[in-house]
Chain A
Amino acid sequence: MKTIPLDRAPPTLADAPQRAGFPGYLACFNGIVWREMLRFIHQRERFLSALVRPLVWLFIFAAGFRQVLGVSIIPPYETYVLYEVFVTPGLIGMILLFNAMQSSLSMVYDRETGTMRTLLVSPFPRWFLLTSKLIGGGAVALLQVYVFLLIAYAWEIEPPLLGYLTVLPALFLASLMLGALALFMSSIIKQLENFAGVMNFVIFPMFFASSALYPLWRIRESSPLLYEICRFNPFTHAVELIRFALYAQIDPASLAAVLGFTAVFLAAAIYAYNPSKGLLGRRGAPGGTA
């Protein structure tokens, strides 16, 4: 073991000024987003599985389903489209959904190992820290989506070039909404192993009871109740927002719904992580050590 040179003059605050105000907030935000990116880069398996999952659906499921499910001309499409084209926004939604839930998983894990504590002892306001973390997670998801779109392009899923740009804010908003939902859930989930429950009770129902895989009018034909559930599902609106944005259009109803859900989920998550109001202090998390 090395000896510790305690006789050194201590560093002083003047050497490295701590910044308050806007530059301080910006430095904090950049640091959080940068860490999310670094973590993602270091977890290659996560990137690969995040990419392979929607590609399997695109290459195998969609190819098989092409003959089974006819998609009529519905906005934003102007001609008949192949099932692969229809399902692409849904698969983008899937990437965002899994990414958000995985960050929820890492939140639970973080909280248990204490990384969340490190974040929360920062002197910046908690709403700012949590929102920055969500945006960091969202940035990671955007990266995945664009790589997916690039591969999909080779599979002849060719939205207009402008669509690649206009889909960006939609992706950002959708990932923020799903991230906020996941963050709120992470404050409720007690144990890491409960993520299997998250898969069964959140990811699958959200994904299947949405317009990701089939147009809603098809669902209405088979079950009006399911149709209503799908219409209420925030994920449906995220997918529709992305679907229209990918063709350089805005679906006002979906935009309003996604904005509304984002606000509600974000408020709930910030509430849950607020030490004086939230759930953390009531039940003895994190770590379980007293």
Chain B
Amino acid sequence: MALSVAGVSHAFGDRRALVDVSLEVPAGSFTVLLGLNGAGKSTLFALITRLYDNVSGEIRVFGNDVRRAPSAALRQIGVVFQSRTLDADLSLLQNLAYHAALHGFGRAAARARAMELLEIIGLADKARDKVRALSGGQARRVEIARALLHDPRCLLLDEATVGLDIGARDGIIALVRGLVARQGLGVLWATHLIDEVAPSDRIVILHKGRVLFTGDHDALLAMTGTATIREAFTTMTGSADAQSTGAVAA
């Protein structure tokens, strides 16, 4: 199992952000973490990446407990955060080299690896350009390349397509799905956009800090007796929520 989260709760003061959350991401799977804004997706990411401590429950990355063996766990994880985390004033190569250094790569190895990944995401010719000059979609692809630099086997993406146009979005999704298919990565894809779910995906529905459903596409439809994921999501979470926020796009 690439990632397993068992019985994790977290609170900020009185506000309970996550309540007894359990989910699993098998290696070689594309698992969609579906939830509206504020459902607790980013909090869960912060717990998995050890920005916060999981006070109750257990989080394991390929069997490594993130509390007891944070180093071994973090080595296996690549993360793309919701907010942009590249240095706009530095070049693509400099950004990637910095991240490689954070994972203990020597300079030469870092460069070689960075160039290789820039090739893969189709931005090798922009290696020396500043990140500032990139489009939103290109910057996202660089962030994915960065997340892959240290060859993690588990990739976490938090709303990776937010703010991107349809073309760029499709490009990002295709890139990540390709990684799952070809490299056997376990991917946890957090999103509030229902149309990013494919029939082959595993689905976890997170709502107001609680997991309402885990399973595959067909199981979700069967359980809710609906024809589409959108209807199933609306049924499970309450239609008023979905409509009032307008967050769930069809």
Contact = CB atoms under 8 A, between A and B. Distances in A.
Interface of A: 1-6, 8, 10-13, 15-20, 23-25, 27-28, 30-32, 34-35, 38-39, 42-43, 112-115, 117-125, 129, 275-277, 280-284, 286-287, 289-290
A32 B123 CA distance: 24
Given A16-B100, A124-B102, 13 more contacts: A1-B137, A4-B122, A16-B110, A16-B151, A23-B106, A24-B104, A28-B101, A31-B98, A113-B84, A113-B85, A114-B82, A114-B85, A129-B102
A17 B182 contact: no
B123 A121 contact: no
Contact of A39 (B72, B89, B123, B183): B89
B62 interface: no
Contact of B182 (A6, A24, A39): A6
B5 to A, nearest CB: 16
B128 interface: no
A36 to B, nearest CB: 10
B17 interface: yes
Interface of B: 10, 12-13, 15, 17, 37-43, 46, 49-53, 55, 67, 70-72, 74-75, 77, 79, 81-85, 87, 89-90, 94, 97-107, 109-110, 112-113, 116-117, 119-123, 137, 141, 150-151, 167-168, 171, 174-175, 178-179, 182-183
B142 to A, nearest CB: 12
B136 to A, nearest CB: 11
Nearest to A274: B53
B171 A289 contact: no
B99 A280 contact: no
B226 to A, nearest CB: 27
A53 to B, nearest CB: 22
Nearest to A275: B53
Contacts of B106: 19, 23, 27
Contact of B42 (A2, A32, A287): A287
A276 to B, nearest CB: 4
Nearest to B71: A123
Contacts of A30: 101, 107
A112 B84 CA distance: 10
Contacts of A35: 87, 90, 94, 98, 101
Given A17-B109, A27-B101, A27-B104, A286 B70 contact: no
27 contacts: A4-B174, A4-B178, A8-B120, A10-B179, A16-B110, A18-B75, A28-B102, A30-B101, A31-B110, A35-B87, A35-B90, A35-B101, A39-B87, A42-B90, A114-B82, A117-B49, A119-B102, A122-B74, A122-B102, A123-B72, A124-B102, A125-B71, A275-B51, A276-B53, A276-B67, A280-B51, A290-B40
A10 B183 contact: yes
B207 to A, nearest CB: 12
A38 B137 CA distance: 25
Nearest to B120: A8
A32 B122 contact: no
Given A11-B113, A280-B51, A281-B51, A38 B104 contact: no
Q: Of residues B17, B42, B50, B150, which shows the largest number of chain A Cβ atoms within 10 Å of its Cβ?
A: B50
Given A4-B171, A6-B175, A120 B50 contact: yes
A81 B99 CA distance: 49
A180 to B, nearest CB: 20
Contact of A281 (B37, B53, B98, B102): B53
B41 to A, nearest CB: 8
Nearest to A118: B85
B66 to A, nearest CB: 9
Nearest to A9: B182
A39 B71 CA distance: 27
B59 to A, nearest CB: 12
A280 B102 contact: no
A118 B10 contact: no
Contacts of B10: 281
Given A31-B102, A42-B89, A5 B12 contact: no
A97 B171 CA distance: 46
Contacts of B168: 1
B53 A32 contact: no
